Amino acid sequence: METRPGTKLEPPTRTSALESLRRVLGEDAFDVWASASAEAGVAWRPDLTPEQICAVARVLAKRPGLVGTLGVSLRVRCETYLALQRGVG
C-alpha cells in the first residue's frame, strides 16, 4: 500500500475504515458504514477515493454517541491525509 514519503500515513480506504469501525462496533460496522455512505452520497463499493472516505467520515463524525466518536477519529485521519496531499504544513 502506498505511503506518502516522509509522512508514514497510508491513504484511507474503505477496507481500513471498516476495519477500524468493526474493531469497536463488531458486525454493526457494516450497517453503520452503509447508512453514512448513503447520507454522504457515496456508493457502496470498494474502490473509494480518499475524498469519498472523508465524506463518509464527516457524516459519521456528526452522529451521536460512540459512532460519532469513531467518526471523528476517521475524519481526523482522512483530513490529515488530504491536507498532506495539498501540501499544508
Q: Considering only 34-42, 45-53, 68-76, which stretch makes contact with other proteins by CB under 8 A?
A: 68-76
Q: What are phi and psi of 58, to 5 degrees?
A: -65, -35
Q: Map the footprint of other proteins across residues 22-51, applying CB under 8 A.
A: 23-24
Locate 75 and state its grid cell: 475524519
DSSP 27: T
Q: Least Å distance between CB 4 and other proteins? A: 10
C-beta neighbour count of 69 within 10 angstroms: 13
Residue 85, interface with other proteins (CB under 8 A)? no
Q: Least Å distance between CB 51 and other proteins? A: 15
